[in-house]
């Protein structure tokens, strides 16, 4: 995974919690608590089949909370004591549901291409994870974004840029993408849609846009360049 975060910022990413707590005492590098799950169910709830049920150090210690605990207000508060950011799988922010018209308990091939994949699923309303994390001062980096048609829920209409636009609109601070060029192009489109003056940034490095408190810095466009 490649991180498209603020320019020049080192990141240490961990699925476990104990080593992050240790690192907190040893380094000033930004620490990110990753939050995994095994899969997403037909109805959009997340599946926590082991070993993707909880941080490994919790399993070893006998702690029963699932990964999902880490994105509850209590879990985020705990994370904020030892990390700078949270890295939830994107389905914690926007999940998807399948269709089971034939009632066999399995998702159907809605688009009729002979396979059942993410392109047959539709989006559910966003959760409050980004907002809740920001309230506690945690940044949010989510993953993994990809271009393949089979990985894009039907709502994105086959255009990966639509997925980034949704997550940028929800306020995520960074994304991990297998296609960083797409992530960046989508970021530029998003920034221009928020403020057309950002287009100036494309033609003059380090230009300043706007005036006074509305002045915006172009540098990096908030990206890893």
Report the interface residues with Ca ion, using CB under 5 A. Answer: 100, 102, 104, 106, 108-109, 111, 113, 120
- Kindly tell me which of 36 and 120 has the beta carbon lying closer to Ca ion: 120
Least CB distance to Ca ion at residue 94 (A): 20
- Kindly tell me which of 78 and 109 has the beta carbon lying closer to Ca ion: 109
Secondary structure, 3-state, the chain: CEEECCCCCCEEEECCCHHHHHHHCCCCCEEEEEECCCEECCCCCEECCCCCCCCHHHHHHCCCCCHHHHHCHHHHHHHCCCCCEEEEEHHHCCCEECCCCCCCCCCCCCCCCCCCCHHHCEECCCCCHHHHHHHCCCEEEEEEECCCHHHCCHHHCCCHHHHHHHHHHCCCCEEEECCHHHHHHHHHHHHHHHCHHHHHHHCCCCCEECCHHHCEECHHHHCCC
Q: Are 140 and 86 in contact (CB under 8 A)?
A: yes
- Kindly tell me which of 53 and 120 has the beta carbon lying closer to Ca ion: 120
- Kindly tell me which of 119 and 172 has the beta carbon lying closer to Ca ion: 119
Least CB distance to Ca ion at residue 103 (A): 7
- Kindly tell me which of 65 and 109 has the beta carbon lying closer to Ca ion: 109
Least CB distance to Ca ion at residue 158 (A): 12
CA 74 – CA 185 distance, rounded (Å): 36
Question: In terms of Cα–Cα distance, which of 196, 174, 198 is closest to 184?
Answer: 174
- Kindly tell me which of 153 and 160 has the beta carbon lying closer to Ca ion: 153
CA 141 – CA 139 distance, rounded (Å): 7
Least CB distance to Ca ion at residue 121 (A): 9
Least CB distance to Ca ion at residue 150 (A): 8
Least CB distance to Ca ion at residue 153 (A): 11
């Amino acid at each position: 995974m490649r991180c498209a975060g603020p320019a020049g910022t080192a990141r240490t990413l961990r699925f476990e919690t104990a080593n992050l707590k240790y690192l907190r005492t040893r380094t000033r590098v930004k620490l990110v608590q990753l939050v995994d799950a095994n899969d997403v169910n037909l109805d959009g709830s997340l599946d926590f089949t082991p070993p993707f049920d909880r941080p490994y150090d919790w399993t070893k210690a006998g702690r029963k909370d699932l990964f999902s605990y880490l994105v509850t207000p209590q879990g985020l508060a705990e994370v904020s004591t030892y990390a700078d950011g949270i890295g939830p799988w994107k389905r914690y922010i926007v999940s998807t549901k399948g269709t089971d018209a034939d009632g066999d308990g399995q998702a159907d091939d809605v688009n009729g291409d002979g396979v059942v994949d993410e392109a047959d699923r539709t989006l559910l309303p966003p959760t409050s994870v980004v907002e809740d994390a920001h309230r506690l001062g945690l940044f949010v980096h989510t993953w993994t974004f990809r271009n393949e048609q089979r990985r894009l829920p039907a709502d994105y209409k086959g255009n990966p840029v639509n997925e980034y636009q949704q997550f940028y609109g929800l306020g995520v601070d960074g994304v991990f993408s297998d296609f960083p060029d797409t992530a960046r192009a989508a970021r530029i489109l998003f920034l221009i849609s928020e403020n057309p003056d950002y287009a100036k940034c494309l033609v003059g490095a380090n230009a300043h846009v706007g005036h006074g408190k509305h002045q915006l810095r172009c540098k990096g466009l908030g990206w890893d360049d």
